[in-house]
Structure 1
Amino acid sequence: MRTVVITGGTDGLGKGLALHYLHQGARVLAVGSTPEKGEALLAEAAALSALDRVTFLRADLTSVAAAEELVTTIKGTCRSVDQLVLCAQRYRLFGPRTVTPEGFEHSFALAYLSRYVLSHGLREVLEPAPRPVVMNVGTPGVPLGRIHWEDPQLTRRYSGTKATLQSFRANDLLGVAFAALRPDTRIRYIGYNPGVVATGMPDHLPRPLRSLTKASFAVLATTVAKAVTPMAHLLDEPPGENFSAYRTTRRLPLKGKAFDQGAALRLHALTQDLVLRRRA
């Protein structure tokens, strides 16, 4: 039986993928931070007669320690993982800089560090799968944002938009480094931009912008059900290269600063040092 692990798996695109793979007969481990959303997913699985194939794993992925504990739990539960889908994100475009108890800027921790820990930490259970895939859901192909090498935690001149865009650019480089560090790996790493999808993202925005964003979503956004189709196709039939990037169905050229291998390896070394220092 195929095993699919999905972070952000109780809401939006992550939940859509979870239900898709339950329909397909797969075993799904859905990671989320809200028990109520986890219970709702379990109820929907029960309605599909798939309750025995779904597990809700509660985890606060703003914490590196929690992400590492999640890796340990999954490795203790699964002999192999066929697909790892990284969807967990919560936009903080407005408001003051927020730091996690471990001292990391919130967006850097949730949207990047958790994906770094899970990508590398679950490699041992991905490798044995017949066609292992990691899909990192973000914004490859959007030429905005950069890594602030001199101050990656944005202690100076912080803005929520700057932090969010940096986390997305970091995830582009994460995929590049993952493939470069292990050229012989069987794992196919895909950076994936789903485009504009009608999810619950606007619920976290301030009230005036929330209403405007919901109105624009009603006109421009595709539904979760439609957005899941090309994602599932790539997960089931991944390209042959170790790393690739897509915007919906369009494959992106791996050029420019977003996919620079030197920058990717530099970020990998910086991140590895941050994670190791947290443990010390």
Structure 2
Amino acid sequence: MQTVVITGGTDGLGKGLALHYLRQGARVLAVGSTPAKGEALLAEATALSAGDRATFLRADLTSVTAAQELVTEVEGTCSSVDKLILCAQRYRLFGTRTVTHEGFEHSFALAYLSRYVLSHGLRATLESAPRPVIMNVGTPGIPLGRIHWDDLQLTRRYNGTKATLQSFRANDLLGVAFAAVHTNTPIRYIGYNPGVVATGMTDHLPQPLRALTKASFTLFATSVAKAVTPVSHLLDEPPGEPFTAYRTTRQLALKGTAFDKDAALRLHRLTQDLLLRQRS
């Protein structure tokens, strides 16, 4: 029986993938921060006669400590993990700069640091599986945003869009660095852009933007059910290369600043230093 771990697994695309793999007979550990959504997922799993294979793990992934504790919990629960799917995200496009209780800028912590900790932290557990794969769901292939090397926490001239886009660009580099650092790993790391998917991400936007975005989703967005199909195909038959990036079904060329190896290793080292300082 395969074991699938999904962050953001109680909502949107993450939930769609959780239910898909439960229907396929896998064991699914869905990570989320909202108990009510976790209970709803477990109820749907029970309706599929898969309640014994579904687990909800509550975690606030804006916290590095919580992400590290999640690694320990998964390692203590699972002898191996076949698929790690990283979907947890909450867009903060407006408003003032917010920091976590550990002092990290919110988007950087949730959308990048948690994925860094889980990717590297669960490596040994993934390597115990026959065909391990990590999928980092973001926006590879979208040439927007950059890494603010001199101010990763955006303490100066902050805005939410800049923070969100930096987290996406950091995740592109995370995949590159993972493959470069772990040269002998059997894990296949995939950066994946699902395109515009009709999810609950609009719930956190202010009005009237929330209503406008929901209306545009109705017209243009792919349903979660349809978006699951190409994602699951990649997860079940991952490419042979250590790191690849896709925009829906199109494989992207790993060139340009988005996938620069030197930049990826630089960010990797900076992240290691940040996490070491956080622990001390």
Provide TM-score, normalisation by structure 2.
1.00
Q: Secondary structure at the match of 2:152?
A: coil
The alpha carbon displacement at 1:42 in A equals 0.3
Partner residue in 2 for 1:108:
108
Query: How far does the alpha carbon of each residue in 1:135-193 deviate from its partner, in whole angstroms, 9 at most, with x for none?
Result: 00000000000000000000000000000000000000000000001111100000000
The separation in 1 between residues aligned to 2:27 and 2:40, in whole angstroms, is 17
The equivalent residue for 1:9 is 9
Q: Counterpart amino acid of 1:84?
A: L
Matched, 1:64 2:64: yes
- The Cα RMSD (Å) is 0.3
CA distance in 1, matches of 2:44, 2:3: 18
Rounded Cα–Cα distance in structure 1 between residues aligned with 2:134 and 2:189: 5
- In the alignment, what sits opposite 1:128? 128
SS at match of 1:92: coil
* In structure 1, C-alpha distance between the alignment counterparts of 2:272 and 2:221, rounded to whole Å: 37
Distance between the aligned counterparts of 2:198 and 2:117, measured in 1? 28
| Matched residue, 1:154 | 154
Q: Which residue of 2 aligns with 1:242?
A: 242
Aligned equivalent of 1:258: 258
User: What is the distance in 1 between the residues matched to 2:44 and 2:201?
Assistant: 21
CA distance in 2: counterparts of 1:195 and 1:55, whole angstroms = 28
- Residues in 1 aligned to 2:28 and 2:203: alpha-carbon distance in whole angstroms: 26
Q: Secondary structure at the match of 1:255?
A: coil
Specify the SS of the correspondent of 1:245.
strand
Q: Which amino acid aligns with 1:259?
A: F
Instruction: Output the CA distance in 2 between the equivalents of 1:202 and 1:2.
Output: 32
* Alpha-carbon separation, structure 2, partners of 1:92 and 1:129: 36
What letter corresponds to residue 41 of structure 2 in structure 1? Answer: L
Runs of at least 5 residues in structure 2 that lack an aligned partner in the other structure = none
Deviations 1:226-278 (A, max 9, x none): 00000000000000000000000000000000000000000000000001110
**Identical counterparts, % of pairs:** 82
Aligned partners of 2:121 and 2:184: how far apart in 1?
17
Q: Which residue of 2 aligns with 1:22?
A: 22
Query: Which whole-Å deviations, capped at 9, do the CAs of 1:172-227 have from their partners, x for residues lacking one?
Result: 00000000011111000000000000001111001110011001100110000000
- Which whole-Å CA distance do the structure 2 matches of 1:215 and 1:43 have between them? 29
The amino acid that maps onto 2:236 is: D
1:137 aligns with 2:137: yes
Which residue is 1:81 aligned to? 81
Match of residue 272 from structure 2? 272
Structure 1 residue ranges (4+ consecutive) displaced by more than 4 angstroms after TM superposition: none
The residue that corresponds to 1:42 in the other structure is 42
Letter matched to residue 154 of structure 1 = L
SS at match of 1:141: coil
Amino acid at match of 1:58: R
User: In 2, distance between residues paired with 1:6 and 1:201?
Assistant: 17
Amino acid in the other structure paired with 2:218: A
User: How far apart, CA to CA, are the structure 2 residues paired with 1:222 and 1:139?
Assistant: 15
1:111-152 Cα offsets, whole Å, 9 max, x none, are 000000000000010001110000000000000000000000
